[in-house]
Amino acid sequence: MEPLYRDEVSAAFEPVAGQLAQVEEMLMEAGRAPSPFLGEVAGHLTSAGGKRIRPAVTLLASRLGNSGDPKVIMAAAAIEITHMATLYHDDVIDEGDLRRGVPSANAKWGNTVAILAGDFLFARSSGLAAEVGGQVPRILADAIASVVEGQLLQLEADFDVSRDLDHYLRTISGKTAALFEAAARIGALLGGLDATAESAVASFGRSFGMAFQVADDLLDLTASEEELGKPPGSDLREGVYNLPVIWAIESRPGLTGLLGSTDVDVDEVRKIILETGAFDRARELASSHAQDALGHLMTVEQGEPREALENLTRLVVERIPDPRTAGGAAKRA
Amino acid sequence: MEPLYRDEVSAAFEPVAGQLAQVEEMLMEAGRAPSPFLGEVAGHLTSAGGKRIRPAVTLLASRLGNSGDPKVIMAAAAIEITHMATLYHDDVIDEGDLRRGVPSANAKWGNTVAILAGDFLFARSSGLAAEVGGQVPRILADAIASVVEGQLLQLEADFDVSRDLDHYLRTISGKTAALFEAAARIGALLGGLDATAESAVASFGRSFGMAFQVADDLLDLTASEEELGKPPGSDLREGVYNLPVIWAIESRPGLTGLLGSTDVDVDEVRKIILETGAFDRARELASSHAQDALGHLMTVEQGEPREALENLTRLVVERIPDPRTAGGAAKRA
């Protein structure tokens, strides 16, 4: 959720803006290291910004309850640092050159340094989670294990044109939804919600995460480099065949002839995805997960925090541009 | 401390042999994952064996006290899993092909898989540390941060013939001694030692770790491939100029002409290291750290666990073969 909808997202964060500023300070702090070089590398992504959507979910979820534990700032920071650690390693794996509009750590300092900086951030996030205590370290550790599972599933399917819906859903459930679920659950716990509400909020996080990733995969096909902070069509070139591709192949098996290598005509594939209706179907799936997310929130107390989470959920789907009518790469092509 | 002195080390572990078997089961358990592939990769190093010297230090340290917390098994497993996680990433960084006598994970499945398997093991170790609770997750997280610092320091000095003693000591203090210190401190804490004894045992761990790494760096020059589980002279070829090299350059600056690239005449460099007395000086430094380690133990209660730690400390130095008279690569050359 990079530059697109930045203002609308900020508006949704309004109820926790002050706390998010504290999280930001903690992120800066966590990047500090005895060696200035490590500090520079580990702080690189923090300085590049990012929407901080995961910590915002944690903070908003904690506001749903009454017992505001001040440690929620630390917990929210731990979630975002975990996310950043995975980004460092992701970029090594994908050989990504750009991240959040700036050169990725691997492109700037090499793979080795990026691996170690990711490890350092993992250590920092577990350190923070340990300070929060209670169930938080375990929830976070389990989420990281799921993220890795999801990333490995994705790798298994690299350049595999026979990847199916089930495989895709298992992948994003691990690599993305698990951390959003953890973010929401940890917020609920620290907000003092009862077990039923905690479970509903965790389910909200999971559905939100699913919607978020399906939307993200659509954005890779339609948004501009400026909007994405990296070149569009990256997934296609890296052999990651996401939902719209999977569904487009179902309707038009000949599409596989255009895939299977790094040398891919992104515009042509995008055209077929649109023609077959796979783009719209995928957007509907994102919508449906967003609806599930909103449904889970129905059981918790109404008020500003819940409204903010609802707005955020709607934005996830609204930010998917219509490639037929609006900006983005399709129009430019 | 691979095959060399295996029997002697096992004898030192005797007082905690039963607990070490439980740790081993927990290591197997931790490698299990919902995806069979991840399970295979994450379990790869566990199956390859290893001396389990870090968990043994934790278990023995806990025996120095009276209140045997059963969670010490979990804590010891967390330490070893952390160590294994760093090995997966190390092998990616060093492009190592062999580890513990079997193909390394990166050689077998590629860098990406090895990075993710390391991340998974980090998650597992924090999960276990979280279950142990108390100060353990923080101590472990801090140790991981130090390990990363040390690894980065080492990278900074890659192929740098002007590396000095101070840089070397800071490197090994981070990459090796920090985790041994954590292993010992965590054992002491779970054994219920008082603050003074805990601090002495932690210092023991640190000095032990320093001796261990200096010895390990000497072994890389003198032991055989069979003994090391990987080719000897690897550090020289990878541009990691350790203590004996640093000191040999001091006495014979011309040695730098033989260094600075991957194409290095290991036998010739080894010969010069021996001639200049740098090998013996480095062995003396290992001895001196081992003496410090023994000194720290003097303040804790005498008995079987302390004796076992003392024996282990002596073995660290004794296992360094004399390259003039005994086996190893120098003789074969």
Answer whether residue B190 shows pLDDT above 60.
yes
pLDDT score of A2: 46
State the average pLDDT over residues A170-190: 97
- A6-327 has CATH 3.40.640.10 classification: no
pLDDT score of A64: 96
Q: Higher-confidence residue: B323 or A27?
A: A27
Q: Higher-confidence residue: A326 or B318?
A: B318
Tell me the per-residue pLDDT of A230-243, one tens digit each, with 9 for 90 and over: 778 889 998 999 99
Q: How confident is the model at residue A173 (pLDDT cuts 50, 70, 90)?
A: very high
DSSP string of A59-70, one letter each residue:
HHHHHTSS---T
pLDDT score of B331: 39
Mutation for B interface: A38, A111, A119, most B CBs within 10 A: A119
Mutation for B interface: A87, A88, A116, most B CBs within 10 A: A116
| Contact with chain B for residue A111, Cβ under 8 A | yes
Helices B53-63 + B17-31 axis angle, to 10: 130
Are the beta carbons of A126 and B116 separated by less than 8 Å?
no
**Residue A152 with chain B: CB contacts under 8 Å:** 35, 37-38, 113, 116
Q: How confident is the model at residue B109 (pLDDT cuts 50, 70, 90)?
A: confident
Residue type (1 letter), A72: V
Q: Is B102 helix (H, G, I), strand (E, B) or coil?
A: strand
Q: A99-113, B106-120, B179-193, B274-288: lowest mean pLDDT where? A: A99-113
Q: Is A103 helix (H, G, I), strand (E, B) or coil?
A: strand
- Chain-centre distance for alpha carbon B222: 17
Number of other CB atoms surrounding residue A330 within 10 Å:
24
**CA–CA distance, B46 with B181 (Å, rounded to integer):** 22
**CA–CA distance, A242 with A49 (Å, rounded to integer):** 26
Q: How confident is the model at residue A308 (pLDDT cuts 50, 70, 90)?
A: very high
pLDDT score of A41: 81
**Domain spanning B6-332: which superfamily?**
Farnesyl Diphosphate Synthase (1.10.600.10)
Q: Which of A66-70, B48-52, B174-178, B236-240 has the highest mean pLDDT?
A: B174-178
Q: How confident is the model at residue B96 (pLDDT cuts 50, 70, 90)?
A: low
Q: How confident is the model at residue A323 (pLDDT cuts 50, 70, 90)?
A: confident
Answer whether residue A333 shows pLDDT above 60.
no
Beta bridge partners of A103: A98
**Residue B111 with chain A: CB contacts under 8 Å:** 92, 111
pLDDT score of A326: 47
Q: How confident is the model at residue B225 (pLDDT cuts 50, 70, 90)?
A: confident
Per-domain residue ranges for chain B?
Answer: 6-332
Q: Which of B40-49, B189-198, B227-236 has the highest mean pLDDT?
A: B189-198
pLDDT score of B7: 77
> Are B187 and B272 within 8 A, CB to CB?
no
Please name the residue ranges forming H helices in chain A.
6-13, 17-31, 36-47, 53-63, 72-94, 105-109, 111-132, 136-156, 165-172, 178-190, 195-222, 225-228, 234-238, 243-251, 266-275, 278-297, 304-318, 328-332
**Residue B34 with chain A: CB contacts under 8 Å:** 149
**CA–CA distance, A286 with A245 (Å, rounded to integer):** 15
pLDDT score of B56: 97
| Contact with chain B for residue A149, Cβ under 8 A | yes
State the average pLDDT over residues A120-143: 93
**Residue A38 with chain B: CB contacts under 8 Å:** 148-149, 152
